[in-house]
Amino acid sequence: MEDNNTPKRRTRSRQQSSTAPLISEYGHLQPQAPELEEAVLGALMVDSDAIGRLGNMLKPESFYDKRNQLLFGAIQEMDLEDRPIDILTVTEFLKLKGILEEVGGPMYIAQLTSKVVSSVNIEYHANIIAQKKLARDLIKFTSKTQEQAFDETQDVNELMQQAESELFEISRHNMKRDFTQINPVIKEAYQQIQTASKNTSGISGLSTGYHRLDKVLSGWQATDLIILAARPAMGKTAFALSLIRNMAVDQGIPVGMFSLEMGNVQLVQRLICNVCQIPGDKIRSGQLEGYEWGQLDSKITALEGAPLYIDDTPQLSVFELRSKARRMVHEYGVKMIFIDYLQLMTANTGKGSRQEEISTISRSLKGLAKELNIPIMALSQLNRNLEGREGVEGKRPQLSDLRESGAIEQDADIVMFVNRPEYFHIYKDGDFDWRGKAEIIIAKHRNGGLDNIPLIFRKEYARFMNLDDESLPPIPTDIPVMRGSKLNVASYEPMGNNTLPPLPDYLQDSTPTDIIPGPGGNEPLPF
């Protein structure tokens, strides 16, 4: 008899342990609401329309009792298959699945329905159940983090990033947003139209400082993720710094900058070069002429007190960035954030390919822009495909050139490219002279039109300007003109005296890659 009874006692013990309240290491019961769980399940079987009111508030794992998890999962499945839901149909469905006894049998199901009369309070009860589940998740998270923190073999920085990642996932999975009736949204949209109508410039967002760009985009819009992409040495960072100067220095708009590539001193040196209009090599070497020292002293004051906040943490994870960005917005009122550049960030997911990691990063940045209600610009690299293409049009970047992930294109509201034909020794395109100029290509604009916008680019100052900007001396035109052929091989049009003066600094590339023969074919001229 003992042998026959022993297995039954063990089975009974296992059943009790699976439903009995768990006690944490501190002696507390795990957060739970068993009566409310039973009330919700009973209401679902009393009122077949009640499950539609729950939406996605609850999942099977939201329930503490294992029996209730199985029962709610079965009801969800029945709803998905459009089956009627009541005490009899649920009992029959559980029987067909072979889990009726595991749930507690017909007696338990009947007991649930006897405890409720209507489903009038089901949403309130469901919210409490969801809160209890969140509390259990936090207890599990903190216990695990504490255990790892006591382990001296753990790298503390990695542990912090892992903890922030897991906490972010808990938060993301528990963020709920209900439906909004259209009337209050109409009111808000109408107010925005009224506000925009009072602005004679037609800019509804933050001004970029570039006339044609503002006309196409109506300024940078809140919640937008903007991708600014180009090949190395095209001027991505220079354009971002020009935008930052236009906003933070000229307009006093608080701006945040995450620089993963350059240190903060190096970044500010480039900004000084941009604002003070002093060549970068002189800023780095300190070999300034007398008038340039005066220029530096008079113009650098514009940078002092500018609402620009720089973080130069290398290998920044997207979870660290989210935390720091929230602080920038809440503590300093930052209105736009720049990231230089996306491919240097990490997601620290520990799984999947680099392409999947980039997808996670771009998706997180778009979510952050929506959460903080500000535009975010992330600089990005392009692959090498365009360098193998021929002609002026061939060298123009395309969306397919975005490096490592098509998800970047998918998540972005705006994708822009920096293009400098001059970099490829193409100085003429029809009647347009590309010397000292660049174009910003708007290749994707979720809420507006596309355009190619030419700007002045002064490489020695790392500065982009409007075509009608007269704050700098005009670019010399008494130099040989290079006309791009289909093979990107340029030919000279020498001046009348058949001599070729040296090219000015702004046409010199820091990384010359080509040697082009002179008119006589004897003396090669470097570019």
Where does the pLDDT of residue 199 fall: very low under 50, low under 70, confident under 90, or very high at 90 and above?
Answer: low
Of the listed 102, 166, 169, 261, which one is catalytic?
Answer: 261
Where does the pLDDT of residue 215 fall: very low under 50, low under 70, confident under 90, or very high at 90 and above?
Answer: confident
Structure-model confidence comparison of residues 511 and 319, the more confident one: 319
pLDDT at 446: 87
- What is the average per-residue pLDDT within 201-209? 79
pLDDT at 523: 38
- HSE, side-chain direction, 13 A CA sphere, residue 303: 20
Q: Fold match between 17-173 and 204-465?
A: no
pLDDT at 486: 35
515 pLDDT above the threshold of 70: no
The contacts found for 113-117 with CB under 8 angstroms, 24 or more apart, are 113/42, 113/45, 113/46, 113/87, 114/42, 115/38, 115/39, 115/42, 116/39, 116/42, 116/43, 116/46, 117/46
Whether residue 261 lies in the annotated active site: yes
- What is the average per-residue pLDDT within 471-488? 42
Instruction: For 222-242, write each residue's pLDDT tens digit.
Output: 889 999 988 887 888 888 988
pLDDT at 51: 80
pLDDT at 495: 35
Where does the pLDDT of residue 71 fall: very low under 50, low under 70, confident under 90, or very high at 90 and above?
Answer: very high
Please report, rounded to a whole number, the percentage of residues in the chain having pLDDT higher than 90.
Answer: 8
- What is the average per-residue pLDDT within 489-498? 35
What's the Cα-to-Cα distance from 145 to each of 117, 159, 318, 350, rounded to whole Å? 44, 8, 20, 17
Please state the length of the chain: 527
β-bridge partners, 526:
515
67 pLDDT above the threshold of 80: yes
Where does the pLDDT of residue 174 fall: very low under 50, low under 70, confident under 90, or very high at 90 and above?
Answer: low
30 pLDDT above the threshold of 70: yes
522 pLDDT above the threshold of 90: no
**What distance in Å separates the CA atoms of residue 449 and residue 463, rounded to the nearest whole number?**
26
User: What's the topology of domain 17-173?
Assistant: DNAb Helicase; Chain A (1.10.860)
> Within 10 A of 247 (CB to CB), how many other CB atoms are there?
24
Instruction: For 250-308, write each residue's pLDDT tens digit.
Output: 888 899 989 888 887 878 888 887 777 777 777 777 777 777 787 777 777 777 788 88
**What distance in Å separates the CA atoms of residue 334 and residue 255, rounded to the nearest whole number?**
5
509 pLDDT above the threshold of 70: no
pLDDT at 91: 92
Query: Would you say the C-alpha torsion 316, 319, 320, 322 has a positive or negative sign?
Result: positive
Distance of CA 318 to the CA centre of its chain: 8
508 pLDDT above the threshold of 80: no
389 pLDDT above the threshold of 60: yes
**What distance in Å separates the CA atoms of residue 175 and residue 326, rounded to the nearest whole number?**
17
Q: Do 136 and 64 contact (CB within 8 A), yes or no?
A: yes
β-bridge partners, 307:
none
75 pLDDT above the threshold of 60: yes
518 pLDDT above the threshold of 80: no
**What distance in Å separates the CA atoms of residue 364 and residue 524, rounded to the nearest whole number?**
50
Q: Do 236 and 418 contact (CB within 8 A), yes or no?
A: yes
Mean pLDDT of the chain: 75
524 pLDDT above the threshold of 50: no
337 pLDDT above the threshold of 90: yes
Which DSSP helix (H) or strand (E) runs through 77? helix 66-80
Where does the pLDDT of residue 175 fall: very low under 50, low under 70, confident under 90, or very high at 90 and above?
Answer: low
Q: Where are the domains of the chain?
A: 17-173, 204-465
Q: Do 31 and 108 contact (CB within 8 A), yes or no?
A: no
Where does the pLDDT of residue 14 fall: very low under 50, low under 70, confident under 90, or very high at 90 and above?
Answer: very low
- What is the average per-residue pLDDT within 33-37? 89
18 token code pair? 């699976």
Complete DSSP assignment for 333-391: ---EEEEE-GGG-B----SS-HHHHHHHHHHHHHHHHHHHTS-EEEEEEB-GGGGGS-H
Instruction: For 351-380, write each residue's pLDDT tens digit.
Output: 567 777 788 788 888 888 988 899 999 998
138 pLDDT above the threshold of 80: yes
**What distance in Å separates the CA atoms of residue 381 and residue 232, rounded to the nearest whole number?**
7
Q: Which residue, 415, 414, 413, 390, is CA-closest to 400?
A: 415
Instruction: For 106-132, write each residue's pLDDT tens digit.
Output: 999 888 888 777 788 888 888 899 889
Distance of CA 270 to the CA centre of its chain: 25
Please report, rounded to a whole number, the percentage of residues in the chain having pLDDT higher than 70.
Answer: 77
Determine how β-strand 491-493 pairs with β-strand 255-259. unpaired
CATH of 204-465, one of 3.50.50.60, 3.30.230.10, 3.30.2020.30, 3.40.50.300: 3.40.50.300
**Whole-prediction pTM:** 0.61
505 pLDDT above the threshold of 60: no
